[in-house]
Structure 1
Amino acid sequence: MRILTAHAFYATVGGEDISHRTEVQYLKDRGHEVVDFTRQNSELQCQHPLIQAAATISNRDIYAAAKRVIIEFRPEVAYINNTFPALSPAVVSCLKDFQIPVIRVLRNYRFGCLSGNLFRQGEVCTDCIGRTPLKGVIHGCYRGSAPASLIAGFTQHRMASIDKRSVGYFIAVSNYVKSVAIQSGMPEDRIVTRPNLYLRRSNAVRKQISMRSNRIAFVGRATPEKGLDDLIRAFLQLVQWNSNLVLAVIGPARGAIDHPNIEYLGQIDHQQVTRELSHADCAVVPSLWPEPFGRVVIEALGEGTPVVVSSIGGLAELAGPGVLAYRPGSVGDLVEKINSSISLPRELAFREALARFDADFSAENWYETTMGVISDATSNI
């Protein structure tokens, strides 16, 4: 099948970017013809603010570029990830004009929240869901700027309007995202829930089990909503009981506290991230915001590493074998859950994590669901 994929990459590489690359490559590996139509959001930062604003709301250059690709490639279906801001609503408009079936993946809350994360001033915020983004503009929720938020609000309104008319099916990465999308006015009967894709290593993971030793892994940024400070406070209690315990902080993150048992590894490539996760006794996702899914969870499970997550948003749905959930913001509960996780016999924890991954997050499950949606989208055109 000829599939046109599209994505606007973030200035700082994150889970959405990794998910897009993984899915594009996997579709190619399964024998599909794939053309990937992408732009870098960082390119807009070099332009004049007024030009940025106009391009974000409706981009003629993107429409023209998408038109050329469609005419040359003749896609049977379009699979769209993030389009904000570099691709603008223009790419979906162009696909609609050429009557190409469109599937959009919902990996953030940009469809109803200017910041995209339902988080403001240290708390979960849903003030704009199902309403105009007036409060988001007043609070400057997009990049801390009221003018920029006003432009983002116009773009959000235009994108939502185009999506409702032009997108055949939406794929939400969790039931929580689906519920927020429905509250935002998206048609419930056209939203399918499907987790992200992670391709676990079949042989290498078993070799790593003997290398695990007293390590806890955190992957993410040091922004307040990621909850790193809570994790560090919990770790400082745990290290009093086990002086050999090490916290590996992976990504462009640095907590407020330095400690000889805390390793700030910085931004490392994805293979190194995978290696760190495979070596850890457990991974922790202590988010204070309602994560749409939590890609780190399936990456860790796929490497045979159990996970502790905050019970919020899409993360709450992942609780079960291999994944312990704690009350968001409760350092005491976090300490208890981490201690329970790292106290499990390593072989048992390893087998439980892999079994959970294979049961719920395998590539075959992802492919079957995705192709089912594509089949429905193309048959209804």
Structure 2
Amino acid sequence: MKILVVHERYTQPGGEDQVFLDETALLEARGHTVIRYERHNDELAATGRLRQAVETVWSRRAVGQIDALLRRERPDVMHCHNTFPILSPAVHHAAAKRGVATVQTLHNFRLICPQGALRRDGRICEDCVGRTVAAPAVRHACYRGSRAATAATAAMNAVHHTLGTWTTVVDRFVALTEFSRDLFVRAGLPGERIDVKPNFVAPDPGPGPAERTGGVVFVGRLSEEKGLHTLLDAWRRVRSDARLTIVGDGPLGEEVRAAAATDSRITAVGRRPFAEVLERVAAAEALVMPSVWYETFGRTLIEAFAAGTPVIASRLGAMAEIVTDGETGVLFPPGDAAALAAAVDALQSDPPRRRRLGAAARGAYEAGFTADRNYELLRAIYERALARRRPASPALPTASRHAAPA
């Protein structure tokens, strides 16, 4: 099978970029031909605001380049990861024109929330779920604090809803959890075409050492929605000598470093290479994920599982689906610093329980998050997309009339 994989890289590399790398490598290792089409968010710096607003809705450049690739390479499937904001969902129409099956992974909630995280003013927000036009998001300037930028994103969703991009053109969607799938169905995506396929960790790092000396580790963007305030507040309440290592950077970096300067148990190491992150997770007594937003997946969770490291996570969204309370980790109410502190102290005082949870976490990885299992699921998704593939169409739809000339 020949697959064209489309992805727009982020300015700060994150989980979606890693999934793109992992899945393309997985497909090639199984003998498939992979063609990569990549762009980078850094291109935004050289693009005027008006032009970028237009291309967010319908990028003629991306459509032209994708169309040329499709004609030259003749892939069986086009699989898109991130298309925002440079590529635009219009690339799916280019594939439909050529009779190529299309797949879209739903890495975040951008199709139903211009801000992408279903969060506003420090709380979960579903005001735009199910709306063709995300008027509340524009009113509150949810994307980057800008009404103009939010309006461009809302227009992208509205235009492609009207054109049937999501309901007709895309052959299969990939949701990372059942929780995410249910949200997208409520928002109007066709549930019969949404497959659930989690992320995976490869190569298998193997379980970490039996005796852990790395304390508790947090890995992720240092931002409010990741629960950093809850985490730092919890450590002021932790009674044990549990050590906390915070890996990552972001807008709350200074606050994290200030906390580390006043509490000898906290160490902030900033952004680290991926291999080192895995080593730190494998050496940890527990991984903590105190996010206060839904998290479409949380790849760090399964990295911990692969290493046999138990997880302490918020009872919210994907985290509550992946982590089984009392079996592979501990769940606590989101935003509850006292409950998080109590969970840390309880695990710190009970090494045998930590080992049991870690062993079960490793078992969960082996059952559901290996490369072999993921390949089975991904191939089946492609086959279902191919089964729905339509004959080539002589021309693209007249969607470009919805956007000013670029």
TM-score by length of structure 1 reads 0.94
Q: Does 1:358 align with 2:391?
A: no
Q: 2:351 aligns with which of 344, 367, 381?
A: 344
Shift of 1:347: 4.5
Query: For residues 356 and 60 of structure 1, what CA distance do their matches in structure 2 show?
Result: 44
Specify the alignment match of 2:243 in structure 1: 246
Write the mapping of 1:58-77 to structure 2, written as runs, cut at 5 A.
Answer: 58-77=58-77
Query: For residues 264 and 287 of structure 1, what CA distance do their matches in structure 2 show?
Result: 18
Q: Does 1:196 align with 2:199?
A: yes
Specify the alignment match of 2:396 in structure 1: none
Write the mapping of 1:8-27 to structure 2, written as runs, cut at 5 A.
Answer: 8-27=8-27
Structure 2 segments unaligned to the other structure (5+ residues): 390-406
Specify the alignment match of 1:295 in structure 2: 299
- The structure with higher relative contact order (CA 8 Å, sep 6+) is 2
Specify the alignment match of 2:102 in structure 1: 102
Residue by residue over 1:145-201, the C-alpha shift from the partner in whole angstroms, topping out at 9 and shown as x without a partner, is: 001111111112233431222111111001111111111111111111111121153
Amino acid at match of 1:248: T
Residue by residue over 1:49-85, the C-alpha shift from the partner in whole angstroms, topping out at 9 and shown as x without a partner, is: 1121122111111111101111121101111111111
Amino acid at match of 1:117: A
Shift of 1:350: 3.6
Specify the alignment match of 2:331 in structure 1: 325
More displaced 10-residue stretch of structure 1: 349-358 or 101-110: 349-358
Query: For residues 346 and 73 of structure 2, what CA distance do their matches in structure 1 show?
Result: 53
Residue by residue over 1:300-327, the C-alpha shift from the partner in whole angstroms, topping out at 9 and shown as x without a partner, is: 1111111111011111101213222111
Write the mapping of 1:178-257 to structure 2, written as runs, cut at 5 A.
Answer: 178-202=181-205, 205-206=206-207, 208-209=208-209, 212-238=212-238, 240-242=239-241, 245-253=242-250, 254=253, 255=256, 257=259
Write the mapping of 1:170-185 to structure 2, written as runs, cut at 5 A.
Answer: 170-185=173-188
Amino acid at match of 2:246: V
Query: For residues 225 and 46 of structure 1, what CA distance do their matches in structure 2 show?
Result: 29
Shift of 1:360: 2.2
| RMSD over aligned Cα atoms | 1.6
Shift of 1:257: 2.1
Specify the alignment match of 2:156 in structure 1: 155
Q: 1:265 aligns with which of 252, 255, 269?
A: 269
Query: For residues 210 and 384 of structure 2, what CA distance do their matches in structure 1 show?
Result: 46
Residue by residue over 1:22-70, the C-alpha shift from the partner in whole angstroms, topping out at 9 and shown as x without a partner, is: 1111111111100111111121122111121122111111111101111
More displaced 10-residue stretch of structure 1: 22-31 or 329-338: 329-338
Shift of 1:372: 1.1
More displaced 10-residue stretch of structure 1: 246-255 or 107-116: 246-255
Shift of 1:226: 0.6
- Count of aligned pairs: 375
Specify the alignment match of 1:2 in structure 2: 2
Specify the alignment match of 1:85 in structure 2: 85
Shift of 1:236: 2.7
Instruction: Show structure 1 runs of 4+ deviating over 6 A.
Output: none
Shift of 1:249: 0.7
Specify the alignment match of 2:398 in structure 1: none
Shift of 1:339: 3.0
Shift of 1:234: 1.6
Structure 1 segments unaligned to the other structure (5+ residues): none
More displaced 10-residue stretch of structure 1: 248-257 or 7-16: 248-257
Q: Does 1:281 align with 2:282?
A: no
Amino acid at match of 2:243: V
Specify the alignment match of 1:135 in structure 2: 136
Amino acid at match of 2:186: Q
Amino acid at match of 2:7: H
Contact 1:306 1:341 in 2 (8 A): no
Query: For residues 170 and 361 of structure 1, what CA distance do their matches in structure 2 show?
Result: 19
Q: What secondary structure does 1:148 align onto? A: helix
**Alpha carbons of 1:145 and 1:213: their partners in 2 closer, same or farther (altered >3 Å)?**
same
TM-score by length of structure 2 reads 0.89
Specify the alignment match of 1:47 in structure 2: 47
Specify the alignment match of 2:170 in structure 1: 167
Shift of 1:349: 4.0
Query: For residues 283 and 43 of structure 1, what CA distance do their matches in structure 2 show?
Result: 35
Shift of 1:134: 0.4
